[in-house]
Chains A and B, each alone.
Chain A
Amino acid sequence: MTLSAQAGTAQPITELLDAETVQSIADEVWPSLVGDGEAFVPVPVPPPADVVSAWVDILGPWTGSVVVTCAPATAEALTESVLMMRPPSTVDAEDVADALGELANVLGGNIKSVLPGESRLGLPQVGAAPPRGRLDDVRSLVGQWRGDFLTITVQGATGAQHAERIEEKPL
């Protein structure tokens, strides 16, 4: 599945969305979706060796993805928190894909609604993050949750000469 955009037709995300807005969205999403008192703190910590990402695509006057990235163990802890699970319950890969995907979905949906014009939101996907497009078409918050590396990145689609094409994979 490739998400492409007409090169040079849209403004870069840095002109459409500032870091404070993304942070204020995270400030609402974390206490409600992840748990009361939880927070995404925009203070960087060293990245882990291995990461997993969840993202949703935004298709509209601006086209790209909203990507959440963290270590696999962090993704599991996030899932336990989102699903309000306590030991001895453990989460499986499907739970993680679902909870992380929903986190990306809620962040993405709120980011979409502050972008100009009308856009559509794709269904959540989980795995290796999509490649970034133009380097200036990235708005990234690098930070932590409970001390663990976590980033929220709003990134433009890879440029292409042809018109957009979106294929939505069913979950």
Chain B
Amino acid sequence: MIDDSRAMRRIVGTILKDFGYDVREAGDGRQALDALEEGRAEGWVPDLCCIDWNMPVMDGLQFVFAVRANPGYRQVTLMMVTTESETGQIVKALAAGAHEYLIKPFTADALRDKLALLGLLPEEVTA
């Protein structure tokens, strides 16, 4: 969960943990790349990254470019979670390699629907 807002990290983290996920956080794209590297060294590779767009140091779009340029992270699903909601922005993110896009504000149900679309919803939660 990559967002400079601690509130958003906490909210999404809580929802994902309820769905059965193990969640790690980062406050910007650079921190997230570092965390990915460290995680890989210990055998922890995320199934999903939820990524805010506007963050200091390295924004979400740059993070997406960086991850998609690295063949070691090919199996990681990237989903933008952001207020940026102009068509052009969504197109840009998808073109950069993001797999999905969730617009803020969103409900827990919306996040669940996106996970189901991506085949990333643990079976027990599909009811």
Contact = CB atoms under 8 A, between A and B. Distances in A.
Contacts, number: 67
Given A101-B5, A171-B56, A108 B83 contact: yes
B11 A83 contact: yes
B6 A98 contact: yes
For B85, B104, B110, which residue has the most chain A Cβ atoms within 10 angstroms?
B104
Nearest to A31: B107
Contact of A171 (B4, B10, B85, B106): B4
Contacts of A123: 4, 54, 56
A23 interface: no
A1 interface: no
A109 B84 contact: yes
A33 to B, nearest CB: 5
Interface residues of A, number: 30
Given A82-B7, A83-B10, A84-B14, A168 B84 contact: no
Interface string A17-56: 0000000000011011100100000000000000000000
A33 B106 CA distance: 7
A102 B8 contact: yes
Nearest to A94: B6
Nearest to A25: B105
Contacts of B83: 105-106, 108-110, 112-113, 121
A124 interface: yes
B54 A106 contact: no
B86 interface: yes
Nearest to A32: B105
A40 to B, nearest CB: 12
A28 B107 CA distance: 10
Interface string B50-92: 0000101100000000000000000000000011111010000
A150 interface: no
A124 B54 CA distance: 10
A99 interface: yes
Given A113-B86, A170-B57, 19 more contacts: A31-B107, A32-B106, A32-B107, A33-B11, A33-B105, A36-B107, A79-B7, A83-B10, A94-B6, A95-B6, A106-B105, A109-B82, A109-B83, A109-B85, A110-B104, A112-B83, A118-B86, A123-B54, A123-B56
17 contacts: A32-B107, A33-B104, A83-B10, A83-B11, A84-B14, A98-B6, A102-B7, A102-B8, A105-B5, A105-B83, A106-B83, A106-B105, A110-B83, A112-B83, A113-B84, A118-B88, A171-B56
